[in-house]
């Protein structure tokens, strides 16, 4: 895995360190990253995305304290042994809550009924 695994949007209202933590959370919960896999170094991520290395190490530090990552001596950060295994569909769904709340608000503003939004969402997900 290399630094391109992260998609960073500096102009987003969500701080970069949180974008990284949230992406790690989703990738681990979804099984794209499995325990033991090594993460790109802070320098690689900072260099690739031209972001401040302190931001990246802050993100890694938070993910480590939440048990998503563990520091392997001499090797760097890896996906923690226990990370992801316990995640149920309900826990994974909870990770989508902010985005869903946003869609719900916008759908209400557009006066769209839930079923047409759901139908469209189902279609979008099926296309992949």
Partner 1 sequence: MNAVLQASAESMEAPLQVRGLAHQYGGQPVLAGVDLTLQPGSVLGLIGRNGAGKSTLIRAMLGLLQPQAGECRVFGEAALQLSDRAKVRLAYVPQQPEALAWLTSQQMLDYVGRFYPQWDAAFARTMLRDWDILPNKLLGKLSPGERQRVDLIRALASQPELLVLDEPAAALDPVARRDLLREIALRAGEAGTTVLFSTHIVSDLERVASEIAFLHEGKLLLHCGVDESKERFARLWLPAAMSAAAPGRTLGRRRHADGSLSLVIERDASGQWPEAVNLPGARLDALGLEDLFVEIAG
Distance between CA 71 and CA 34 in Å, rounded? Answer: 15
Cα angle for residues 35, 97, 27 (degrees, 5° grid): 20
Q: Which stretch binds partner 1 (CB under 8 A): 8-16, 66-74, 89-97, 117-125?
A: 8-16
Cα angle for residues 53, 58, 61 (degrees, 5° grid): 125
Q: Which stretch binds partner 1 (CB under 8 A): 14-22, 30-38, 75-83, 114-122?
A: 14-22
Q: Indicate whether 99 belongs to the interface with partner 1 (CB under 8 A).
A: no
| DSSP helix/strand/coil, 42 | helix
Q: Which is nearer to partner 1, 81 or 96 (CB)?
A: 96
Q: Indicate whether 88 belongs to the interface with partner 1 (CB under 8 A).
A: no
Alpha-carbon torsion (102, 105, 109, 110), positive or negative: positive
The least CB distance from residue 12 to partner 1, in Å, is 6
The least CB distance from residue 23 to partner 1, in Å, is 16
Enumerate the β-bridge partners of residue 38.
Answer: 78
Site for partner 1 in 19-78 (CB under 8 A): 42-43, 46-47, 49-55, 58
Distance between CA 15 and CA 109 in Å, rounded? Answer: 27
The least CB distance from residue 109 to partner 1, in Å, is 10
The least CB distance from residue 101 to partner 1, in Å, is 12
E strand or H helix that includes residue 53: helix 53-65
> Which residues in this chain contact partner 1 in the complex, by CB under 8 A?
10-18, 42-43, 46-47, 49-55, 58
């Amino acid at each position: 895995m290399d630094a391109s695994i992260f998609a960073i949007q500096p102009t987003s209202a969500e701080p970069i360190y949180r974008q990284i933590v949230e992406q790690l959370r989703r990738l681990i919960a979804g099984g794209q990253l499995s325990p033991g896999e090594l993460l790109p170094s802070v320098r690689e991520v900072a260099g690739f995305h031209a972001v401040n290395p302190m931001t990246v190490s802050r993100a890694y530090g938070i993910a480590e304290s939440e048990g998503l990552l563990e520091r392997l001596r001499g090797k760097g950060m890896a996906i923690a042994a226990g990370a992801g295994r316990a995640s149920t569909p309900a826990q994974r769904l909870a990770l989508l809550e902010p985005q869903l709340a946003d869609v719900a608000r916008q759908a209400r503003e557009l006066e769209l009924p839930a079923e047409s939004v759901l139908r469209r969402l189902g279609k979008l997900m099926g296309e992949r």
